[in-house]
């Protein structure tokens, strides 16, 4: 039997059907576009009506009469007002259009399968670390699915991971630092380099949370921080790390930022600070920032081994006892600081033994800043002179009781060149700039819970106070105002914080207004008397009395210049000596 051809619709019907479907879809899309406003208004009216209905059912029965009366009055007023009904319709349509707008969230920028692929590759990478051959029901196995192992995940708009929760088997050695470090390194690499991640290990639940940390603000300029006496802001950190925030001025706006606050003085458990960093990472800037804050309540002595004049803006300022860049000046000033610490200590102990409060002349904080002391160590060695660091022993050991705070900054690789006393007594630590996990662990005494990155802005690093947690840190921009590369706003911010200059660098008296001259003359006479008194009562290394803190008797440094030392060419600043008696 001859075959009869199929009707046309059935022979090439597939193509025709597809074309008609396409046509119908285009027509429907066009109609939807044209009718979109009507659809929106209808949807809005429906939502308004259901809201009104809900309101009616929620209203208690005894109040419904009042509500009805209110609605009726509104309707009556609208009806009586000229153009009232028209206006009411316009308002109703506008409200319906607003209510009816499409509120479905926009589709994610990254398609789901690309996320899946990323998570699958992460999962595969973790298999060798989170599985053993003996496990009868492994959570991680080659070819397995990531869904059970990664119960929570978030991505940013670029499709990169921002948050992950990873489950791991109970036999994984999460208590061992090396095992953790291996996983953290792997996850940081697989989730995208160049970003900082925080890892939170929940050992009880066998969960690891991975979070990408946002960059810390680098635009905070030096300013007067709202802190109590004895508190110093080292910089700013993540909100999760600390419990308080500081109100800051940022141009015209105000904002609250979580600070890393270091407490000094008699109650401090970390009375001295060590700042380490590669060259150019902002260690001198941090010291300048601390010095500007210290000047509000105390006196300071600066010894700069870097010799680049980064503290020139502080020379002669009220409260700045000396800024020394040379070895001789450094030795003289630090000898004075050691003697002053001893004097304060003896004075405090005497008062305590008599049952009295600490004398006033021991209460004003004295700050000793040493920038790059190891530079002096080499210089002293070649000159056959004393290493200035050795003069820090007394201020470091007994500074807390005597209200003397020591801040030392040096390069990261110079840690071994610092004396034992410096390393033992500087329990507040800061590391700035790029550093490996090992370097950070050595300098801070604990590894950070985040992944250090190679590229960081100046002033970025980590801080740890005593045995506390390691915080990420960004130091406020406190540039040298005499540096040409400094922006005008930052320069002005630093200049605004500087106290008036009362003693010019050349040692001459600063010009005073006529009315202040008589007062200054009287002060000068008193100062001269103080200096002569000081010379008479020269702070001999007095034997330490019974109530002395530990080891003072053995650690006491000779206050006078060492025998091998040539007579210092720069005298101890008169103002510094006067501070002893003031
Ligand atoms: N917190 C910060 N915010 C903005 N810029 C900073 C910050 N800290 C440092 N800088 C800039 O980085 C540069 C180097 O800073 P600084 O001199 O303090 O570093 P350093 O570690 O002391 O270097 P060096 O050892 O060479 O003296 C300067 O130009 C400084 O203005």
Rounded to the nearest angstrom, the distance between the alpha carbon of 475 and the centre of ligand 1 is 10
How far, in Å, are 322, 364, 487, 490 from residue 497 at the CA level? 18, 20, 16, 11
Residue nearest to atom 15 of ligand 1 (CA): 282
DSSP secondary structure of 375-408: HHHHHHHHHT---GGGGGHHHHHHHHHHTEEEEE
- Minimum-distance ligand 1 atom for the alpha carbon of 281: 21
pLDDT of residue 375 exceeding 60: yes
Of the given ranges (244-253, 377-386, 540-549), which has the lowest mean pLDDT?
540-549
Q: Is the pLDDT of residue 141 over 60?
A: yes
338 C-alpha to ligand 1 centroid (Å): 30
Testing ligand 1's pocket by substitution, the residue of 479, 482, 491 carrying the most ligand atoms inside 8 A of its CB is 479
Q: Which ligand 1 atom sits closest to the C-alpha of 371?
A: 22
pLDDT of 531-575, one tens digit each? 333 333 333 333 333 333 333 333 333 333 333 333 333 333 434
C-alpha span between 316 and 43 (Å, rounded):
75
Q: Which atom of ligand 1 is nearest to the CA of 287?
A: 18
For residue 306, give the ligand 1 atom closest to its CA. Answer: 27
Fill in the DSSP letter of residue 215.
P
In ligand 1, which atom is closest to the CA atom of 278? 21
What is the Å distance from ligand 1's center to 416 Cα? 23
- Ligand 1, closest atom to CA 310? 17
**Residue nearest to ligand 1 atom 1, measured at CA:** 459
Residue of 257, 279, 280 to test ligand 1 pocket, by largest number of atoms within 8 Å of CB: 280
pLDDT at 398 over 90: yes
Mean pLDDT over the full length of the chain: 81
Per DSSP, the chain holds a count of helices (H) and strands (E) of 16, 16
Residue 328 has pLDDT above 50, yes or no: yes
Pick from 176-180, 239-243, 297-301, 428-432: least confident: 239-243
Interval 45-64: pLDDT, tens? 888 888 888 788 778 778 88
- Alpha carbon distance, N-terminus to C-terminus of the chain: 128
Three-state DSSP class for residue 461: strand
Question: In a 3-state reduction of DSSP, which class is residue 450?
Answer: strand
Bridge pairing between strands 161-167 and 207-213:
antiparallel
Q: 411: CA distance to ligand 1 center in Å?
A: 13
CA torsion, ordered 424, 426, 427, 432, to nearest 10 deg: -120
Q: What spacing in Å lies between the alpha carbon of 289 and ligand 1's midpoint?
A: 11
Q: How many other CB atoms sit within 10 Å of the CB of residue 523?
A: 12
Cβ-based burial of 426 (10 A; exposed 0-12, middle 13-18, buried ≥19): buried
Q: What is the CA radius of gyration of the chain?
A: 36
Please say whether the beta carbons of 99 and 48 come within 8 A.
Answer: yes
Question: Which protein residue has the closest C-alpha to ligand 1 atom 25?
Answer: 279
Tens of pLDDT, residues 285-296 = 999 999 999 999
Structure token digits, residue 201: 């290990």
pLDDT tens for each residue of 437-469: 889 999 999 988 888 787 889 999 999 999 999
Q: At residue 33, does pLDDT exceed 70?
A: yes
Average pLDDT over every residue of 330-349: 96
Tell me what pLDDT residue 178 has. 86
* 59-71 tens-digit pLDDT: 877 888 888 888 8
Residue nearest to atom 23 of ligand 1 (CA): 280
- Report which secondary-structure segment, H or E, holds 188: helix 177-191
Written as one string, the DSSP assignment of 525-540 is HHHHHHHHHHHHT---
3-state SS, residue 473? strand
Three-state DSSP class for 102?
coil
ipTM of the complex: 0.96
> Which are the contacts of 41, defined by CB distance < 8 A and separation ≥ 6?
93, 96, 97, 100
How confident is the model at residue 111, as a pLDDT?
54
The CA 103 to ligand 1 mean position distance, Å, reads: 49
Alpha carbon of 219 to ligand 1 centroid (Å):
14
Structure tokens at 129: 């670390």
Tell me the mean pLDDT in the region 11-39. Answer: 68
Largest CA distance in the chain: 139
The domain segmentation of the chain, as residue ranges, is 116-213, 231-523
* Amino acid 158: pLDDT: 81
Residue 474 alpha carbon to ligand 1 centre in Å = 12
The region of weakest confidence among 185-199, 258-272, 491-505, 519-533 is: 519-533
| Binding site per annotation, positions for ATP | 277-284
Looking at domain 231-523, which CATH architecture does it have?
Answer: 3-Layer(aba) Sandwich (3.40)
* Percent over 90 (pLDDT), the chain: 48
Residue whose Cα lies nearest atom 16 of ligand 1: it is: 282
Ramachandran angles phi, psi of 500, nearest 5°: -60, 150
Report the separation in Å between the CA atom of 279 and the middle of ligand 1, taken as the mean of its atom positions. Answer: 8
Q: Where are the alpha helices (DSSP H) in 227-319?
A: 283-294
Q: How confident is the model over 480-539, as pLDDT tens digits? A: 999 988 899 999 999 999 999 886 555 444 444 444 444 444 444 444 443 333 333 333
Around ligand 1, the residues with Cβ closer than 6 Å are 218, 277, 279-285, 306, 308, 310, 458-459, 475, 477, 479, 485
| 459 CA distance to ligand 1 middle (Å) | 7
Q: Assign 7 a pLDDT band (cuts: 50, 70, 90).
A: low
Atom 31 of ligand 1 has which residue's CA nearest to it?
A: 479
Ligand 1, residues 435, 458, 472: which to mutate, most atoms within 8 A of Cβ? Answer: 458
The pLDDT score that the predictor gives to residue 13 is: 53
User: Residue 348 has what pLDDT?
Assistant: 94
Based on the number of CB atoms within 10 Å of its own CB, is 272 exposed (0-12), middle (13-18) or buried (19 or more)? buried
The more confident residue out of 190 and 130 is: 130
Most confident of 307-311, 411-415, 556-560: 411-415
Residue whose CA lies nearest to ligand 1 atom number 4: 477
Q: Which atom belonging to ligand 1 lies closest to the Cα atom of 477?
A: 3
- Note the pTM of the prediction, 2 decimals: 0.69
Going by C-alpha positions, the residue among 362, 322, 355, 222 that lies closest to residue 574 is 322
Atom of ligand 1 at shortest range from CA of 485? 29
């Amino acid at each position: 039997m001859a075959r009869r051809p199929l009707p046309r619709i059935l022979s090439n019907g597939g193509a025709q059907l597809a074309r008609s479907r396409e046509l119908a879809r285009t027509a429907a899309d066009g109609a939807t576009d044209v009718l979109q406003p009507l659809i929106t208004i209808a949807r809005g009216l429906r939502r308004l009506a259901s809201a009104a209905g809900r309101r009616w059912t929620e209203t208690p029965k005894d109040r419904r009469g009042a509500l009805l009366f209110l609605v009726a009055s509104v309707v009556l007023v609208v009806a009586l007002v000229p153009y009232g009904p028209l206006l009411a319709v316009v308002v109703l349509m506008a409200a319906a259009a607003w209510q009816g707008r499409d509120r479905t969230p926009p589709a994610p920028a990254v398609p789901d399968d690309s996320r899946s692929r990323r998570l699958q590759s992460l999962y595969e990478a973790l298999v060798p670390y989170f599985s053993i051959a003996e496990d009868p029901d492994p959570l991680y196995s080659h070819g397995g699915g990531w869904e059970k192992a990664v119960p929570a995940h978030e991505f940013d708009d670029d499709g990169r991971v921002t948050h992950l929760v990873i489950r791991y088997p109970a036999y994984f050695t999460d208590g061992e630092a090396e095992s953790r470090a291996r996983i953290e390194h792997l996850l940081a690499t697989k989730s995208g380099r160049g970003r900082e991640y925080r890892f939170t290990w929940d050992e009880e639940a066998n969960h690891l949370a991975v979070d990408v940390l946002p960059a810390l603000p680098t635009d905070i300029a030096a300013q007067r921080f709202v802190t109590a006496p004895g508190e110093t802001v080292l910089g700013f950190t993540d909100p999760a790390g600390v419990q308080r925030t500081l109100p800051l001025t940022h141009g015209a706006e105000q904002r609250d930022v979580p600070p890393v606050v270091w407490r000094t003085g008699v109650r401090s458990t970390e009375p001295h600070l060590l700042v380490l960093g590669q060259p150019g990472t902002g260690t001198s800037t941090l010291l300048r920032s601390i010095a500007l804050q210290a000047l509000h309540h105390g006196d300071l002595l600066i010894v700069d081994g870097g010799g680049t004049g980064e503290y020139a803006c502080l020379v002669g300022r009220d409260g700045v006892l000396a800024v020394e860049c040379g070895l001789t000046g450094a030795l003289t000033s630090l000898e004075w600081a050691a003697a002053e610490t001893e004097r304060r200590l003896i004075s405090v102990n005497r008062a305590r033994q008599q049952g009295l409060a600490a004398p006033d002349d021991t209460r004003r904080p004295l700050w000793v800043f040493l920038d790059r002391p190891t530079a002096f160590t080499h210089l002293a060695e070649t000159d056959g002179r004393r290493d200035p660091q050795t003069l820090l022993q007394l201020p470091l050991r007994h500074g807390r009781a005597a209200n003397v705070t020591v801040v030392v900054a040096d390069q990261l690789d110079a840690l071994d060149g610092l004396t034992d006393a410096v390393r033992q007594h500087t329990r507040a630590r800061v590391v700035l700039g790029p550093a490996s996990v090992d370097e950070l662990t050595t300098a801070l005494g604990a590894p950070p819970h985040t992944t250090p990155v190679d590229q960081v802005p100046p002033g970025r690093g980590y801080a740890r106070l005593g045995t506390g947690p390691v915080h990420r840190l960004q130091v406020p921009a406190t540039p040298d105002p005499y540096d040409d590369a400094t922006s005008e706003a930052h320069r002005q911010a630093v200049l605004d914080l500087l106290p008036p200059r009362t003693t010019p660098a050349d040692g001459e008296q600063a010009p005073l207004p006529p009315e202040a001259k008589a007062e200054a003359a009287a002060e000068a006479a008193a100062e001269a008397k103080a200096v002569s008194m000081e010379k008479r009562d020269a702070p001999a290394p007095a034997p330490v009395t019974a109530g002395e803190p530990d080891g003072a008797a053995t650690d006491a440094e000779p206050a006078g210049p060492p025998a091998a030392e040539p007579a210092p060419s720069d005298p101890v600043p008169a103002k510094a000596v006067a501070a002893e008696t003031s």
